[in-house]
Amino acid sequence: MGGWPLLEGDSWIAQKYDWEQAAYGMVNERLITDSFFTFDIVTDFKNSAKNVLGIDQPMLHVDRGALVKGFSNKYVQEYFHHMVGMAVTYGANKARAEKELRHVLDFEINFATITLSEEERRNQTALENLMSVKNLTTTYPFVHWKKYFNTILKSAFVIGDDEIIKVSVPTFLEKLGKLMQKTQKSVLANYLVWQVLQGQLQGSFSEEECVDMTSEYLSLNSGAIYVRKYFTSESKKSAEELAVNIEQQFMKMLKKVDWMDEKTKTSALAKIKSMKNVIGYPDEILHDKNVDEYFKTLEITPNDLVQANANLSIFLLDHSFSNLRKTIEKSDWPWVFCARTITDIHIPAAVLQDLFFDKDRPQYLKYGAIGAFVLGNKLTTAFDYDGRRFDQNGNLRDWWTPETKKKFLQKAACITQQYKKYKVKDDSIKYTRKMAVKPVYSTTDLILAIRF
């Protein structure tokens, strides 16, 4: 992986270091593939029946809002102390660790500032940028993209100059190239090894942590066990009937709203008719042979947790990459392909329990719980200010007319004004239009309120 300057000191030679080769080494050792950016198979939302290779900014280990505030933030300081402590555990001199890891932290802070916030990422249209590998290489030359893709994919597919790549955040890649060029190689090397250490397994684990790992990596297995023990076909049928009834009433409501013109209403009704309810569980997981077939290439090492974790990671990575050339159907569940959830309602069995749902409760309780907070919320999201960007096929296309958009904003203005008046108790933050409008657009309350 190119070594760890923090431990190797003067014996580490910067001139011999190449971060791309280090990244390849990490993949070969089954560690991480997301170093300075993520690389995965994603849905092309301009044609949601198709998968493409996607590049995006990676997930940060520390809250972005804290990082952009710099070292003065207490959470960033705690994170730094954790970094130093981890390095010392691996044998580093504390003084040297504090010095070198401060440079790594400064890099992470600068790295966070060039990423988009979750709020800025809400506009899916802005994230749907397609370009060929050839254009990608010309535009962002700090990576040998074709070699990178083919090395990571390990000949599963041969990527040529004409392969289409989805670049979710072009501004991030542009700034990343400049940031990496002005950063010392030793800092890049220390950063990459630190990313590996962050993802590795340390010490012993509680039952809860083991369950979390199982749920993340073996969701199909754990889901099969769960539904067989805690969920019934009667519960599934009851929830499906609930969803159908809510959708029928929602269709009646759509026909009456005065802020949608007839053209937009027609598109809205077509979208709700095309929506597919995926409730509880797929029938396939009730049969062991189906689950076994899915995991037939996975090898678990019973006495080696780190190796088992690595095997699981590479299995999931290979499974994801295998979907590149497959056409996406409106399949029932996300593990079949990269499922199109934009026009579907997915409610797993684990949600249909406790306070939300029980098949033996009176209907009014079920409508008030799972109906309002889960089904209602998921349904209206497909028709709100964000849902307008995706048509009935899940393709990225604005189906609202300008007149409908104008009336919607007029109706929403009163709620925006109401939320602007709210303050937190310490009186340090006042909700602004920008802060209030976005969350409100995704609530069931707004869609119900503006029909009047």
Residue pLDDT, tens place only, 109-160: 999 999 999 888 877 777 878 999 999 999 999 999 999 999 888 767 889 9
Tokens of 192: 């990459």
Q: Side-chain half-sphere of 87: how many Cα atoms within 13 Å?
A: 28
Contacting residues for 428 by C-beta, under 8 A, at least 6 apart? none
Across 206-210, 237-241, 382-386, which has the greatest mean pLDDT? 237-241
Q: Where are the domains of the chain?
A: 5-199, 207-389
Burial class (CB in 10 A: 0-12, 13-18, 19+), 330: middle
Nearest 10 degrees: CA dihedral of 104, 110, 114, 120?
100
Q: Which residue has the higher pLDDT, 392 or 180?
A: 180
Do residues 48 and 57 make contact, with C-beta atoms less than 8 angstroms apart?
A: no
- Region 264-288: what's the mean pLDDT? 89
pLDDT of residue 442: 36
pLDDT of residue 300: 86
Looking at the chain, the whole-number percentage of residues with pLDDT higher than 70 is 88
pLDDT of residue 441: 34
Angstrom CA distances, 436 to 400, 404, 442, stand at 22, 21, 11
Instruction: Say which range, 93-107, 155-169, 296-310, 428-442, has the weakest mean pLDDT.
Output: 428-442
Q: Please give the Cα distance from 16 to 452 (Å, whole number).
A: 68
- Region 88-113: what's the mean pLDDT? 95
Question: pTM for the full model?
Answer: 0.73
Burial class (CB in 10 A: 0-12, 13-18, 19+), 238: buried
pLDDT of residue 439: 34
What rounded mean pLDDT belongs to the chain?
83
Residue pLDDT, tens place only, 237-275: 999 999 999 999 999 999 999 999 999 999 999 999 988
pLDDT of residue 155: 65
CA 139 to mean position of chain CA atoms: 26
Confidence band, pLDDT 50/70/90 cuts, at residue 354: confident
Q: Which residue has the higher pLDDT, 31 or 41?
A: 41
Highest CATH level, class, for 5-199: mainly alpha
Residue pLDDT, tens place only, 61-73: 889 999 999 999 9
Do residues 356 and 374 make contact, with C-beta atoms less than 8 angstroms apart?
A: yes
pLDDT at 452 over 70: no
pLDDT of residue 342: 58
pLDDT of residue 426: 59
